[in-house]
């Protein structure tokens, strides 16, 4: 009898926004500055008050000081993306088909002479999608990625990847720790989550970071009012924002109005006005796709003088494919391929591609053997990749054996994710990995960038 996907995914549902907010609350209790009254979706986390009117001034100063500073973008595939059906071992197709009779991919697009192929959905998008980027030497795949004695809980594994620490205790994110060492004390846009809430990857101990769903949401406006009435209303707001009056109550009201006006004015150059979008993409992104929309905004923001150094985005699909994996995986990978291909083309058109490397990751892989529901269950040895004009191309780690598994009949891990982190910190960001990853020297290094 096919297993209920809801039963199989109880653990995945524990990674909901509300559940994770409760878990992460102890590390996010520092001052949270939220732009209330500005249309929402812009928040700053900092351990001291930062005047909103100075945010872009600090960002522009950071960008001017280091105009060619490298940027690291992370894209998370939630749910545990399957290795076998994403990066298909066509050189051992018979064994693969035996393991996956209900989900096996027929005639997947080949990756040259590597003995591997990709899911057909990864060939969708501009210039051939993710496969096209691989063929162009802009993607390096990392099969078999995980950590020793893997915990197959979504909640725990995601937390380990986010912090770079295989421990259940609360801690700042690994990129947040990097910002604590090498970031600015005044530019929250240096660590940017393209979402309405902060990614735990970017949770810091001291450096300011920000969450921004879209610059269009950060604007002072009055809904349902237009034309002359709107201009009169905004003029009235300007007058209200002029300091005057006595007493704590009136002064607080004026200060709030003035603050909102300052933020809106500073961010106005990046918001759509009169149908003109200053951050409009240079290429076509997939329609009605949240991942594509956020990557489009990110590409534009990286190209602005804002000092973005690290950024985090989550894919809109879910990859916890216990049931009906062929349909769900195809849908999720289609969005990823189309969005990432457009993102890369956009960066290149804007002239900033040589500054950006993207890491695509998931919290774990799936079991080698398919299940009775035409799906796959939580397993070890997943798939990740680096992308960009400066990413090392090819198959960068060993593909796990299809005949020799670990004691739990899962893939044997071929590369620890902390080795990847340490390699990116040193090889791309150019700093000491030991500042961020404990015992970094024990993991060795991979040539992930060039």
d(CA 108, CA 213): 35
What's the pLDDT at 212?
A: 84
236 and 99 assigned to the same domain:
no
Q: Which two tokens stand for residue 357?
A: 């490397």
Residues 215 and 91 in one domain: yes
Decide which of 274 and 281 is more confident. Answer: 281
Percent of the chain with pLDDT over 70: 77
User: Alpha-carbon distance 186 to 374, whole Å?
Assistant: 51
Residues 384, 245 share a domain = no
Domain presence at residue 448: no
Q: Which tokens go with 310?
A: 């690290």
User: What is the model's pLDDT at position 41?
Assistant: 55
* Higher per-residue pLDDT: 313 or 40: 313
Instruction: Give kind and range of the element (H or E) at residue 365.
Output: strand 365-366
Specify whether 209 is located in the same domain as 98: yes
Q: Which of 270, 298, 329 is the last residue of a domain?
A: 270
Q: 393 with 256, same domain?
A: no
pLDDT, position 321: 96
Q: Would you state the structure tokens that stand for residue 148, as one six-digit string?
A: 């020793």
pLDDT for 108 beyond 90: yes
Q: Are residues 39 and 95 in the same domain?
A: yes
Q: What is the pTM of this model?
A: 0.86
pLDDT value of position 249: 52
Asked whether residue 42 is assigned to any structural domain, the reply reads yes
Report the DSSP pairing between strands 382-387 and 356-361. antiparallel
83 pLDDT above the threshold of 80: yes
Burial category of 180 from C-beta neighbours within 10 Å (exposed 0-12, middle 13-18, buried 19 and up): middle
DSSP per-residue string spanning 45-69: E-SS---GGGHHHHHHHHHHH-TT-
The per-residue pLDDT for range 208-250, each reduced to its tens digit, is 898 888 766 544 444 444 566 556 654 554 554 455 555 555 5
What is the torsional sign of CA 331, 337, 343, 346? negative
Q: For residue 58, what pLDDT band results from cuts at 50, 70 and 90?
A: confident
Same domain, 260 and 294: no
CATH classification at residue 172:
3.40.720.10
CA distance 180 to 183: 6
Q: Which residue has the tokens 């044997």?
A: 412
3-class SS of residue 189: helix
C-alpha dihedral (31, 311, 150, 322), degrees to nearest 10: 110
In whole angstroms, how far apart are CA 433 and each of 1, 71, 200? 49, 16, 19
> What does residue 214 show for φ and ψ, rounded to 5 degrees?
-165, 135
In a domain, 257, yes or no: yes
- Residue 181 CA: distances (Å) to CA of 387, 417, 420, 436: 25, 21, 19, 8
More confident call, 144 vs 274: 144
Q: Are strands 87-88 and 117-118 parallel, antiparallel or unpaired?
A: antiparallel
449 found inside a domain: no
90 falls within a domain: yes
Last residue of some domain: 270, 298, 333? 270
Does residue 29 surpass a pLDDT of 90? no
| pLDDT computed for residue 203 by the predictor | 92
Our count of domains for the chain comes to 2
pLDDT digits 0-9 by tens, 389-442: 999 999 999 999 999 999 999 999 999 999 999 999 999 999 999 999 999 999
Give the C-alpha separation, 344 to 129, whole Å. 10
* Domain assignment of residue 426, given as a range: 5-219+278-442
34 vs 148: CA distance, rounded Å: 40
> Per-residue pLDDT averaged across 269-287, rounded?
83
Q: What is the CB neighbour count within 10 angstroms for residue 169?
A: 9
Q: What are phi and psi of 385, to 5 degrees?
A: -155, 155
295 with 253, same domain: the answer is no
Q: How confident is the model at residue 303 (pLDDT cuts 50, 70, 90)?
A: very high
Contact 356, 302 (CB under 8 A): yes
Q: Which region among 119-133, 218-232, 282-296, 365-379 has the lowest average model confidence (pLDDT)?
A: 218-232
Q: Residue 64 falls within a domain, yes or no?
A: yes
Q: How many CB atoms lie within 10 A of CB 255?
A: 12
Q: Is 115 left (phi over 0), alpha (psi -120 to 50) or beta?
A: left
Does 111 lie in the same domain as 91?
A: yes
447 domain residue, yes or no? no
User: Is it the case that residue 48 has pLDDT exceeding 90?
Assistant: no
Residues 418 and 437 in one domain: yes
Residue 192 lies in a domain: yes
Write the burial class of residue 228 (CB in 10 Å: 0-12 exposed, 13-18 middle, 19+ buried).
exposed
Domain end: 203, 238, 270, which one?
270
Q: What is the structure's pLDDT at 156?
A: 93
Q: What is the mean pLDDT of residues 57-72?
A: 92
What mean pLDDT is reported for the chain?
85
Beta strand 191-193 pairing with 310-314: parallel
Q: How many CB atoms within 10 Å of residue 389? A: 17
Looking at the fold, whether 169 and 237 belong to one and the same domain comes out as: no
Same domain for 199 and 236, yes or no, is no
Write down the pLDDT at residue 285. 98
The SS3 of residue 43 is strand
């Amino acid at each position: 009898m096919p297993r209920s996907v809801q039963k199989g995914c109880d653990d995945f549902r524990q990674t909901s926004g509300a559940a994770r907010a409760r878990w992460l609350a102890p590390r996010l209790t520092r001052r949270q500055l939220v732009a209330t009254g500005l249309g929402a979706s812009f928040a700053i986390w900092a351990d001291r008050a930062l005047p909103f009117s100075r945010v872009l001034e600090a960002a522009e100063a950071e960008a001017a000081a280091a105009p060619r500073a490298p940027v690291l973008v992370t894209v998370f595939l939630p749910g545990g993306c399957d290795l076998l059906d994403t990066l298909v071992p066509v050189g051992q197709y018979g064994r693969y088909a035996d393991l996956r009779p209900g989900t096996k991919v027929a005639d997947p697009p080949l990756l040259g002479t590597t003995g591997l192929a990709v899911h057909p959905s990864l060939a969708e998008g501009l210039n051939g999608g993710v496969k096209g980027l691989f063929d162009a030497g802009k993607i390096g795949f990392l099969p078999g990625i995980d950590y020793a004695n893997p915990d197959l809980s979504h909640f725990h594994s995601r937390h380990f990847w986010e912090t770079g620490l295989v421990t259940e205790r609360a801690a700042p994110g690994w990129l947040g720790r990097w910002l604590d060492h090498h970031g600015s004390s005044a530019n929250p846009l240096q660590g940017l989550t393209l979402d309405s809430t902060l990614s735990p990857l970017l949770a810091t101990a001291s450096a300011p970071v920000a969450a921004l769903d879209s610059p269009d949401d950060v604007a002072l406006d009055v809904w349902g009012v237009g034309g002359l009435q709107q201009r009169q209303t905004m003029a009235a707001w300007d007058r209200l924002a002029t300091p005057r009056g006595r007493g704590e109550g009136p002064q607080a009201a004026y200060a709030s109005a003035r603050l909102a006006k300052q933020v809106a004015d500073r961010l106005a150059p990046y918001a759509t006005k009169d149908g003109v979008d200053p951050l409009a993409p240079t290429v076509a992104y997939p329609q009605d796709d949240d991942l594509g929309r956020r990557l489009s905004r990110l590409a534009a923001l990286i190209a602005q003088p804002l000092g973005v150094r690290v950024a985090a985005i989550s894919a809109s699909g879910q990859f916890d494919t216990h049931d009906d994996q062929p349909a769900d995986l195809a849908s999720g990978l289609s969005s990823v391929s189309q969005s990432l291909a457009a993102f890369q083309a956009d960066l290149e058109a804007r002239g900033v591609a040589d500054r950006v490397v993207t890491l695509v990751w998931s919290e774990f892989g799936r079991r080698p053997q398919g299940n009775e529901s035409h799906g796959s269950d939580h397993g070890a040895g997943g798939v990740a990749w680096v992308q960009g004009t400066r990413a090392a191309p090819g198959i960068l780690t060993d593909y796990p054996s299809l005949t020799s598994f670990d004691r739990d009949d899962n893939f044997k891990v071929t590369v620890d994710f902390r080795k990847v982190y340490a390699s990116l910190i040193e090889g791309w960001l150019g700093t000491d990995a030991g500042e961020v990853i404990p015992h970094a020297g024990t993991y060795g290094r991979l040539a992930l960038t060039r």
